[in-house]
Copies of this chain bind each other. A is one copy, B any other.
Amino acid sequence: MNTRTISKVAKKAGVGVETVRFYERKGLITQPPRSSTGGYRVYPADTAGQIRFIRQAQELGFSLREIEELLSLRTDPATDCADVRERAQTKLTEVTRKIAQMRKIQAALKQLIAACPGQGALQVCSIIEAIEVPEKPSAMPKQKRR
């Protein structure tokens, strides 16, 4: 038969079987119903897509907890809309900030590449300076610090 077993879903998503079970335990993917005969997991069509989303989001620096938060924005289609909206807004701010940082690194890399075969290559580009520096200790006068 052409049922969506765990190994097929895993392959489609590009992960191992164990990883699928792991995400299931974590509540990151929809709990699949079981076949009445052997108690095997039978997956809905979209599970592989969910897993690929998880992997992509991880590469973008989201933890599984954060990914769960992202997914929850869609999971509950009946919950308080204003609440969803607020959480989405929070995520959006974060994502926007990340994009900005990423763009700075991108620009630094481009600059590096452009400056490189110029042969006279010295202190051309620093990458580190791509990201601006928030300087933690706010100038408090008369502190202990030696």
What residues make up the interface of A, taking CB atoms closer than 8 Å to B?
A: 1-3, 5, 7-8, 11-14, 46, 48-50, 52-53, 56-62, 70-71, 73-74, 77, 81-82, 84-85, 88-89, 91-92, 95-96, 98-99, 101-103, 105-106, 109-110, 112-113, 116-117, 119, 121-123, 125-131, 133-137, 145-146
CB contacts (< 8 Å) of A57 on chain B: these are 105, 131
Contact A109 B82 (CB under 8 A): no
Q: Which residue of B lies closest to A46 (CB)?
A: B128
Contact B77 A145 (CB under 8 A): no
Closest 4 CB pairs between A and B? A61-B61, A85-B116, A92-B109, A53-B128
Q: Most B CB atoms within 10 A — which of A8, A103, A106, A109?
A: A109
Q: In the bound complex, how far is the Cα of B113 from the Cα of A48, in angstroms?
A: 26
Instruction: Name A92's contact: one of B82, B85, B110, B117 (CB within 8 Å).
Output: B110
CB contacts (< 8 Å) of A49 on chain B: these are 128-129, 133
A135 to chain B, nearest CB (A): 7
